Structure 1
């Protein structure tokens, strides 16, 4: 038997074993909960709601550094009428930086995808940018500045209540000291996102100073700002998938090459 076939068979056996173990554990937990509910009937409705919520989320499909994406998170990728969720992008940022980018750019300048919670906290009017830098910028802070080429800041704008959520991304090119915008909806993204971009640029400035105290604050505010030429979405929900595909395209190829839909995979 070839080594590749053997490794594949072992991987399948490991997956089936883990899946069976989780199923048995789930059944034991449910049996225990049911037995406990019989003794405390007033708690039963709350337990039922909790179980329904867990079923709705589905099992955890992938985990990385205490971050996980559930079955429901993956529906945002494969469902043609679903929008990519915040948790999926957070998990992607971990996988991208720790595995894909680390292998793809071995012995080259690094490309880093920052946790999307970083910008969400800025949107929530968190003004302690140094604190945010230390909490969400760890993948960037641990790498020497001269070893970094690009870092990406995915942004989920709008709100679920208003049904106007939209994914876009701001990227910093550390070599050319300029910004790039990835947005599949607007032709003038800097103007449309001007308020948040202003806050984000200031936060990135602080992030770089936390990384290197010699960094001069305010040096990014007047830097060049460019827009990525990419395929435009034709609906209200494909922005997240297009954004992640374009991030990978730009990291691997360049911002100077247009991003067509065929590069998505």
Structure 2
């Protein structure tokens, strides 16, 4: 995920750099030449193309809402970096010497030399420190944001009939216990965007369903990111399987299985620990 944020920042920085070369002032400062009309057109097209590419990367990897927000944040940092970095460009054009203005007679007669004001480099260092702190704080804030379940590395990819899907548990922890100690677990499923247009409904349950009427709990939520809370049987083990049943709009039914140990290792560990504790208490009861 860090590589995605870094890619958005670098591509946006290159886009702004290309747009800066469109102006005569920046082009003369950076390239020591006045840009031609064809050069301006090329730089403008390249700059806007790179900005569009960074936006596409953000939306593709982080979804539209989060991606656009983070894209604007990284573009702000890239713009600040150029604002403070371009004046320090190593190949600066030669500074033209200005003629000193001759003092007027009244100024030469009545003016008295005053004390020379000391330079204040503290302000520059403070501005530089604040500029460096912006991406640092922004990066720390991003690290604190939890990764969406379907974007985590532990999400499982698979095929069900002609469609592809991605399955992940909502939270990487033990199942929640509801009334009478029944363990419940939340999962999220995403079908490919084109595939989802052909899907009527999808169901999820542990162990093979006996019929379509007992296919499990129907997945609900947004069109291509669905969620479901299912009950886990008391005999759930690492060998247990999650059965995904998908019904197409043409009436065709397709099923796929995912091992519980692959998608919910924390849940498997919780059942094994509970079974081990139950086995340890049986001799005491006898």
Give the alignment's TM-score, normalised by structure 1: 0.29
RCO higher in structure (CA 8 A, sep ≥6): 1
Larger radius of gyration: 2
- The structure where strand makes up a greater share of residues is 2
Give the alignment's TM-score, normalised by structure 2: 0.28
